[in-house]
């Protein structure tokens, strides 16, 4: 019988697995949606932090891209990605690194939502005699930073960036509150708020005689639910390439779409307690308990067999640093599976970004399932 997962038994556990076929299916799904909507897709690379993944998710392999750290921008620019949005509010101390990246040929765009930030950007651009183009962050749902479309500082910031030569590239928003809502209908409402807020801000800037070529929106839930992006130029999303239990819990994907899992091994049992002990604790899974507030609490992760088939109601309700405890979900009528010491399992994560961050490389199951495992490095830092 053909082994669908050649080489897994040779891996030291815990380690992280990436199912390339599932990942590529997820990538194609959103790429096709963006094309249908007539907008540019600007994938967020913060989840993967991997050049190998970037080459598969980016159009042409080189952009456009979104990042959440300057370390990401530097690594991906070195790998040939030349169109990057750094989608976290800028600090003055980081501007020399921004200028250095731009001097190397990367069209790095930054983010601002205050006059103080914009002043720092304007002064740095003037001192360097070089542009530092920025998007103005718009608050579309009260989740994080940003200005309302009607805030008088919007025009002041735009004017300052434009007049100083730093450069006003446009506006952007992120509907982070969509992660706390379930169902495509609600996510579509958040998508509408993203669109309306950014389009209104863009119109206000243009009415003031300022340029606003970019109108950028997106989160993984809203990107998949939106059906009308009139006035928007680009769509952003990140965790969609891997998906996770949080996304499945709010109806953005199915568990069968989750491309990332942690390979672990059974190391013992506490039969009187109904426990199966494994060698993946919170250091391998992360401390993220993002499903705890959802309708179904998945603990620290959901247990699957070596081929990725979910064991009914078998989750990780408790985790220590290097020990995980698997048990049946409270109230379950399922029987505990017979998993002897040495049995390899896969654990689906709550939050792909957090779990991936615990590991230095992905062990990749090839898309065609015919070859040996591949290893794709990932990086961290700021």
Could you report the per-residue pLDDT of 31-53, keeping only the tens digit for each? 999 999 999 999 999 999 999 99
The burial class, CB within 10 Å (0-12 / 13-18 / 19+), for 146 is buried
The pTM for the full model equals 0.95
Place 83 in a pLDDT band, splitting at 50, 70 and 90.
Answer: very high
**Of 2-16, 114-128, 182-196, 256-270, minimum mean pLDDT range:** 2-16
Q: What pLDDT score does 82 carry?
A: 96
Tell me the per-residue pLDDT of 101-117, one tens digit each, with 9 for 90 and over: 999 999 999 999 999 99
Tell me the per-residue pLDDT of 301-343, one tens digit each, with 9 for 90 and over: 999 999 999 999 999 999 999 999 999 999 999 999 999 999 9
Q: What pLDDT score does 1 carry?
A: 33
Of 370, 308, 333, nearest to 19 by C-alpha is 308
Do the Cβ atoms of 324 and 283 come closer than 8 Å? no
Domains of the chain with CATH codes: 8-15+259-377 (2.40.37.20), 39-240 (3.20.20.10)
User: With the C-alpha atoms ordered 155, 157, 44, 214, is the resulting torsion angle positive or negative?
Assistant: positive
What is the β-pairing status of strands 107-112 and 134-137?
Answer: parallel
Q: What pLDDT score does 5 carry?
A: 62
What is the H or E stretch that residue 303 is in?
strand 302-304
Tell me the per-residue pLDDT of 343-365, one tens digit each, with 9 for 90 and over: 999 999 999 999 999 999 999 99
Res. 134: pLDDT tops 70: yes
Tell me the per-residue pLDDT of 219-230, one tens digit each, with 9 for 90 and over: 999 999 999 999
């Amino acid at each position: 019988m053909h082994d669908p997962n050649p080489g897994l038994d040779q891996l030291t556990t815990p380690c992280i697995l990436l199912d390339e076929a599932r990942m590529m299916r997820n990538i194609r799904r959103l790429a096709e949606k963006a094309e249908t909507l007539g907008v540019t897709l600007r994938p967020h690379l913060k989840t993967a932090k991997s050049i190998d993944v970037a080459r598969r998710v980016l159009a042409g392999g080189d952009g456009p891209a979104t990042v959440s750290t300057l370390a990401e921008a530097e690594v991906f620019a070195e790998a040939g990605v030349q169109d990057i949005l750094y989608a976290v509010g800028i600090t003055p101390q980081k501007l020399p690194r921004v200028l250095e990246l731009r001097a190397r040929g990367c069209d790095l765009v930054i983010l601002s939502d205050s006059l103080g930030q914009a002043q720092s950007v304007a002064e740095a651009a003037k001192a360097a005699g070089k542009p530092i183009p920025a998007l103005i962050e718009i608050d579309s749902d009260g989740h994080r930073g940003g200005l309302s479309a009607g805030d008088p500082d919007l025009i002041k910031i735009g004017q300052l960036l434009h007049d100083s030569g730093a450069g006003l590239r446009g506006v952007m928003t992120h509907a982070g509150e969509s992660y706390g809502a379930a169902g495509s209908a609600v996510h579509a409402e958040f998508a509408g708020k993203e669109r309306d807020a950014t389009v209104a801000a863009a119109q206000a800037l243009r009415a003031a005689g300022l340029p606003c070529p970019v109108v950028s929106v997106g989160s993984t839930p809203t990107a998949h639910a939106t059906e009308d992006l009139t006035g928007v130029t680009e769509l952003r999303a990140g965790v969609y390439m891997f998906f996770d239990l949080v996304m499945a819990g709010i109806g953005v994907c199915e568990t069968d779409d989750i491309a990332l899992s942690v390979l672990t091994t059974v190391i013992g049992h506490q039969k009187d307690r109904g426990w199966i002990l494994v060698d993946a604790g919170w250091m391998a899974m992360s401390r993220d308990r993002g499903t705890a507030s959802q309708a179904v609490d998945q603990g620290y992760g959901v247990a699957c067999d070596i081929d990725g088939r979910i064991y009914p109601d078998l989750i990780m309700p408790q985790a220590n640093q290097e020990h995980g405890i698997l048990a049946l979900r409270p109230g379950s009528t399922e029987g505990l599976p017979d998993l002897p010491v040495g049995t390899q399992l896969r654990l689906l994560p709550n939050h792909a970004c957090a779990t991936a961050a615990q590991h230095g490389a992905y062990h990749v199951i090839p898309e065609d399932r015919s070859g040996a495992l591949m290893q794709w490095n990932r990086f961290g830092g700021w």
